[in-house]
Structure 1
Amino acid sequence: MMDKEKILEEDLYKPVHDFFEKQGYTVRAEVKDCDVTAIKDDFLIIVELKKNLTVELLSQAVKRQKISELVYIAVPKPKRMKADSKWKDICHLIRRLELGLIFVNFKSSKTFVEVVIEPKPFDRIKSINANKKKRASLIKEIKGRNKDLNVGGTRGKKLVTSYRESAIEIACCLDKFGPLSPKRLREIGTDCKKTVSILYKNYYGWFDKKSRGVYELNEEGKKNLKVYEELAKYYYEKIGEKVTSDQLRVQSTIDRGQ
């Protein structure tokens, strides 16, 4: 077994050379800046070798696509393979670039080649169709946000999602008019589908059940209205346009009497 730290790019050549030669190709190294070339009749394959899978390697391989039908990148097989989202994203990128991926395995006494991805045309329409649910979810989330309060590229901060926005809207209603039922909240204009779920699950811990089917805003909820002050201001104004305090006080009194 060879230590990856001691592996050189030139160590990748012989296994790749032998792999294509066994398939009837004439293989040559370092031809016109190409690491490996393999030709059978007029069919040309180019392989770029690197110790690590880098952006530089991908860029170099894409350039080779100008002169070859099939282009592979070849790297040493990682000691530990994790089939996580990061690896899946890397594979998607390689397929998106219509490149092939070869692992040169140095883990056994006999070095050998594994073709992980074959270079072939990428069907973008098929890819989009296969992710219709994710697309629909993204569009739904965009439409569910009324204010743009997040900063792109930030890490480690609580994001204002459409769910959090709905919770803040409910909190504003309860803060302004006192305890209310989900029915009254929906009449004011809170989300028809989310209102009951947000109050029942109480994911953020902002609401308390005052009586059967009636909820009120607790101190944690009031504190978060200050944290999300800009969004709360937006919903207070929105509520004010739809209903007057006197109307809701009457309904709140009815609710408390239930």
Structure 2
Amino acid sequence: METALYLPIKNFLEAAGYAVKGEIGSCDLVGLSGDEPPVVVICELKLAFNLELVLQAVDRATASDEVWIAARVSAKGKGRESDRRFRDLCRRLGFGMLAVADNGTVDVIVSPVAPMPRKNTRRRSRLVEEHRRRKGDPTRGGSTRSPIMTAYRQQALACAVAIQNGQQRPKDIRANAPEAAKILQHNVYGWFERVDRGIYALTELGSEALKRWPQADGA
């Protein structure tokens, strides 16, 4: 029961200097500092960290100075408390996370004053580069069952289109596929084969790819 989490969290917040009471105005737990006006701390309890717990915290945020969410630690250590995305969400919202062990020990997973997650500049740059390199908008957002038509795949298909009617050198198809040399040499999809030094032909897999994506040259 969620009530089993109450006393460990109450003791934790009281040790931090708050006077704590349960079930105040639909909040699982409310703590007040001794200041005037007091600092208002709200904590919502659940047996496991989940989205509903975060939504409850969002609802309480306008009535408090500090919001915590608390839940029992997952028995196998695979709960949301181990999910970096969930922790980052709490950081961005300014919510603290408290994990309660079976023995009543309370650990701070995220502080409500934790710094915002740093931007991943490398990942951001890759997104910008892929967006700019991709021709048109060939893949609908939300697609999970079909291969994504990346800029790399588009160029590989452009190479296949150029080679389907005869062997080619990378420099001959560079106008439509700037990375032709790398694509043909690495042959990630198995679409090409080198028949002579610097000369490539299309494999059966390459021919099948052109049948699967017949508009590849106009993507």
With normalisation by structure 1, the TM-score equals 0.78
| Greater Cα radius of gyration, structure 1 or 2 | 1
Q: Which residue of 2 aligns with 1:5?
A: none
C-alpha change, 1:202 and 1:231, in structure 2 (3 Å) is same
1:173-196: CA deviation from partner (whole Å, max 9, x where unpaired):
1114x112112222x4321xx211
Please report how far the alpha carbon of residue 148 of structure 1 lies from its aligned counterpart in structure 2 after TM superposition: 2.4
- Cα distance in structure 1, aligned partners of 2:79 and 2:194: 44
1:129-153: CA deviation from partner (whole Å, max 9, x where unpaired):
x322211111111122113222221
Pick from 154, 173, 189 the counterpart of residue 176 of structure 2: 189
- Cα distance in structure 2, aligned partners of 1:121 and 1:87: 16
Q: Which residue of 2 aligns with 1:215?
A: 200
- Cα distance in structure 1, aligned partners of 2:75 and 2:148: 36
Q: Which residue of 1 aligns with 2:64?
A: 68
Q: Which residue of 1 aligns with 2:23?
A: 30
- The alignment partner of 1:66 has SS state of helix
Matching of residues 1-258 of structure 1 within 5 Å = 8-41=1-34, 42-82=38-78, 87-106=83-102, 110-120=103-113, 123=116, 127=118, 130-176=119-165, 178-186=166-174, 188-191=175-178, 194-232=179-217, 234=218
Amino acid in structure 2 at the alignment position of 1:90 = F
The gaps in structure 1 that reach 5 residues or longer are 1-7, 236-258
Greater helix content: 1
Please report how far the alpha carbon of residue 16 of structure 1 lies from its aligned counterpart in structure 2 after TM superposition: 0.6
- Cα distance in structure 1, aligned partners of 2:115 and 2:46: 24
C-alpha contact 1:76 1:103 (8 A) present in aligned 2: yes
| Identity across the alignment (%) | 32
With normalisation by structure 2, the TM-score equals 0.91
C-alpha contact 1:147 1:231 (8 A) present in aligned 2: no
- Cα distance in structure 2, aligned partners of 1:100 and 1:71: 6
The gaps in structure 2 that reach 5 residues or longer are none
Cα RMSD (Å) = 2.0
- Cα distance in structure 1, aligned partners of 2:17 and 2:93: 26
Amino acid in structure 1 at the alignment position of 2:209 = N
